[in-house]
Structure 1
């Protein structure tokens, strides 16, 4: 597993927060073991990119990594001064059965401390106490429906040991986002705190809606007469159907905006919008009256929507 989270995500150190998020989402889809069951290296890659994203997504932990205070897994790096304190301890500290000289390797010192703890003595000579360590974080994945992610929901996952764990999906959860459940990971050592459960959420695509940040995108079919004459139509939103006014003369590709009908994130006052792209749909089998009307209209009108396109193509 790379110690450099930038390398794990394939990014330079100058990458923006948005670039980090996009790279992570892309790699989750190509490296997640559940989505790539035939790829033997998928699990190892997924663990590496998940750990890298945990470090880089938070500005504070990213700054600490850049400063050398933590490693690529987010663990504290040993402080050099701490080693120097041992290397320059008084001579009598090395004469109490440890056998270290003035030029002892700090790694040998710590190894001897741990050995002495195993024999039940000696560690307190250096001020050490009972060994404690936090438990390891446990990583899981959870696939949720699109509407459950944008609206928020609760669900349960079954852990490898058979234990059931309830997971709250905050409203506005994004594809690839990692949720942290404090204290739900592996147990600690020597009375240390348990680790956390890290749940990577994979959002299933929706057959109608797409998401762009906090905005919801929708393609809405309209008829020829609605496009020409305008009118009130019904459009689906993530919170249910609403009325929408189609202006007269609307063409395919025109985008109408439903203010505040997008994603409402937890902790934010303003919601996104829903952008409705119109698509004029011709009847699959036009009746004779429509054919006659359009034939007469074509003969008596000289409208050509491609004139401007042809002019711009020549410039």
Structure 2
């Protein structure tokens, strides 16, 4: 009975003022969630699926929608004697619904467009890693990597056939690689595309396969590939070498070799972007008196001038002594941080010199280096 039907807008979950696009989008969602193929033996889903079809048939038709908005179900159901085309379980506009089911289920009523299985296809990429030293990454280098990849069979040339034979177009799918499968449901017959069982989706059949590759058209080879590591590359970055991956199919290009760079840690230097960081220990005397300090850089040793009274933790900048920019836009800088190293195990003469220095600084040198009651040096906490 029509009076027992749910409101069509409620069925699709849209408001009465919804646009055609909103109605269509809502229908797609409800139909997909409750499609019989996705909900076998689920009676409630079957009921909701039927409701959605009825609702969409009316609300997607401007004339029927107008009558429904004015008279409700009586305006579109002939059982009420109010005219109208009715909907009684049909699907209305098959073209529209075919498009919808084609996009949802990959075939729907019309099958949809399928990719040609015999079209040229690019081969798969290969991933590899290479380890380089800190300075090799900074200035670039050449490395060799070993890979295993597929290549066109050297015996059959890649067609997979024995000498004197060639692939045949599959008579079952006529080269498309897919066949139409029709399924009877309570809502009617649904058609969808499936892989051709005869050719396995390839669209062609090799009756006399190559003995070397067994009809696959490719063979696995171990190769050594030269990799040019560019100056300035950073840890974890990847170099792409086109055409050095696995073989393509049907005349398609080979894939790429993707080489990820790993940089060994350096004993002295650290890297932040294009900057090089370097810590240097200096003596107390050098920090106080200043002078010239020889420091290491990735280019070799350079002389740095320390001013008198340099504090521990002071950082100096060496322009242009950092990492070359990967895009060739100059170089970064090196930052040298100096730390005052406290001398250990002083002899008597050195200690006396420090006591004398302390007195000149206004300190009472008598208690410096004194032993505590516990046998250690006097290092009382400052208040």
Which interval holds the TM-score relative to the shorter structure?
0.5 to 0.7
Tell whether 2:157 aligns with 1:153.
no
Partner SS state of residue 135, structure 2: helix
Q: Which residue of 1 aligns with 2:114?
A: 110
**1:73-84 aligned within 5 A:** none
**1:1-315 aligned within 5 A:** 103-106=109-112, 110=114, 114=117, 130-160=118-148, 161-302=221-362
Q: Which residue of 2 aligns with 1:7?
A: none
- Going from structure 1 to structure 2, the CA distance change for 1:142 and 1:105 (only over 3 Å counts) comes to same
> If the length of structure 2 is used for normalisation, what is the TM-score?
0.46
| Shift of residue 204, structure 1, vs aligned partner | 1.1
Structure 1 CA distance, aligned partners of 2:108 and 2:312? Answer: 82
Query: 1 or 2, which has the higher helix percentage?
Result: 1
| Shift of residue 182, structure 1, vs aligned partner | 0.8
Query: 1 or 2, which has the higher strand percentage?
Result: 2
Deviations 1:165-205 (A, max 9, x none): 11111111100001100111111111111111000111111
Structure 1 CA distance, aligned partners of 2:348 and 2:309? Answer: 23
Structure 2 CA distance, aligned partners of 1:140 and 1:178? Answer: 9
Which of structures 1 and 2 has the bigger CA Rg?
A: 2
Larger RCO (CA within 8 A; separation ≥ 6)? 2
Structure 2 CA distance, aligned partners of 1:286 and 1:216? Answer: 35
| Shift of residue 293, structure 1, vs aligned partner | 1.7
Structure 1 CA distance, aligned partners of 2:327 and 2:269? Answer: 23
RMSD of aligned alpha carbons: 2.5
| Shift of residue 102, structure 1, vs aligned partner | 9.1
| Shift of residue 258, structure 1, vs aligned partner | 0.5
| Shift of residue 247, structure 1, vs aligned partner | 1.3
Structure 2 CA distance, aligned partners of 1:178 and 1:243? Answer: 36
| Shift of residue 302, structure 1, vs aligned partner | 4.5
Structure 1 CA distance, aligned partners of 2:274 and 2:326? Answer: 12
| Shift of residue 285, structure 1, vs aligned partner | 2.7
Structure 1 CA distance, aligned partners of 2:276 and 2:294? Answer: 16
Structure 1 stretches of 4+ moved >6 Å: none
Deviations 1:138-183 (A, max 9, x none): 1111121111111111111111343111111111110000110011
Deviations 1:227-254 (A, max 9, x none): 1111112100011111111111112110
Structure 2 CA distance, aligned partners of 1:229 and 1:149? Answer: 38
Number of aligned residue pairs: 190
Deviates more, 1:258-267 or 1:173-182: 258-267
Partner SS state of residue 159, structure 1: strand
Structure 1 CA distance, aligned partners of 2:350 and 2:226? Answer: 58
What runs of 5+ residues in structure 1 fail to find an aligned partner? 1-83, 89-100, 115-129, 304-313
| Shift of residue 300, structure 1, vs aligned partner | 3.5
Structure 2 CA distance, aligned partners of 1:194 and 1:300? Answer: 79
